Amino acid sequence: MTDEEKIKQELENKFTYLKDAVIVKRKSRVFAAVPLEKFKHVFDYAVKNLGFDGLCAITGLDLGESLGVIYHLNREGRLTLNLTVALDKEHPQVATVTDYFPGADIYEREMVDLLGIAVKGLATGQHYPLPDNWPKNDHPLRKDWKGEAKHA
């Protein structure tokens, strides 16, 4: 059994709700869709028990009906485990993961600025990457963002 398949099995065994939600795309690429309310458990297990000791990036995205966040974890620089959660579009909120990875700070700020996702537990701080005087509630990465017409 490959490492990737082992990870799939361990996740599905530990968290029964992940059955059929973990996909081995290819070598070094495992994807899993995680229910939001269970996210912290799965994340914690991946980091503490499955050896995922690095966070490459966090991708926020607008999925149309909902917003999504993908946490791209990696193990020893080799294998990436990509955990996706879906968020309610009206009140999108996730908990910070800076307690696991201090470096996540800047990736979380990016989601706040560009998608308007609230990150609970993230220390108040600077904007990134938008300028300080960018209008509030104006999130360019949202699919329905009308800003381009303004700036054209």
Partner 1 sequence: MSVISKVINWSRLKSPWVLHFNTGACNACDIEIIAALTPRYDLERFGVLLKATPRHADIILCSGPVTKQVSSRLVRIYEQMLEPKFVVAIGSCASSGGVFGGCYNVEGGIDTVLPVAAYIPGCPASPKAIIDGVVKLLTSLEE
Partner 2 sequence: MHDSGEVIIPIGPQHPALKEPECFLISLRGEKITAASIKLGYNHRGIEKACESRTYIQDLYLIERICGICSHSHSTCFVQAVEEIAGIEIPGRAKYIRTLIGELERIHSHLLWLGVAGHEIGFDTLLMYTWRDREVVMDILASLTGNRVNYGINTVGGVRRDIKPDHQEKILKAMDLLEERTKYYIELGSSESTLIKRLSKVGMLSRADAKNLGAVGPTARASGIERDVRKDDPYAAYAELDFKVITSDKCDVYGRTLVRLGELMQSFSLVRQVMQKIPSGPITVKTGRKIPSGEAVSRYEAPRGEDFHYVRANGTEMPERVKVRAPTLANIQAVSKMLEDRYLADLPIVIAAIDPCFSCTDRMVTLHDQTRHKKNTFAWETIRRKSISWYRQQGVDFKALNKKMAKLF
Name the residues that contact partner 2, by CB under 8 A.
25-26, 28-29, 31, 53-57, 59, 61-62, 70, 72, 76-78, 80, 82, 101-103, 105-107, 114, 126-132, 140-141, 145, 148
Q: Does 1 bind partner 1 (CB under 8 A)?
A: no
Q: Write down the least CB distance from residue 146 to partner 2, Å.
A: 12
As a whole number of Å, the end-to-end CA separation of the chain is: 54
Cα separation values, 22 from 66, 74, 105, Å: 20, 16, 27
Q: What is the helix (H) or strand (E) element at residue 6, kind and residue range?
A: helix 3-14
Q: Does 140 bind partner 1 (CB under 8 A)?
A: yes
| Token code pair at residue 139 | 């999130």
152 binds, among partner 1, partner 2, none (CB under 5 to 8 A by kind): partner 1
Of 90, 99, 131, 137, the residue at the interface with partner 1 (CB under 8 A) is 131
Binding mask 56-95 for partner 1 (x = CB under 8 A): ----------------------------------------
Q: Does 148 bind partner 1 (CB under 8 A)?
A: yes
Q: Does 152 bind partner 1 (CB under 8 A)?
A: yes
Q: Write down the least CB distance from residue 29 to partner 2, Å.
A: 6
Q: Say how many C-beta atoms besides its own lie within 10 A of residue 111's C-beta.
A: 24
State how far Cα 74 lies from the chain centre: 13
Distance CA 16, CA 6 (A): 15
DSSP per residue over 78-141, as a string?
A: TEEEEEEEEEESSS-EEE--TTT-TTHHHHHHHHHHHH--EEETPPP----SS-TTSPTT--TT
- The nearer residue to partner 1, 31 or 145, going by C-beta atoms, is 145
Which positions touch partner 1 (CB under 8 A)?
130-131, 134, 140, 147-148, 151-152
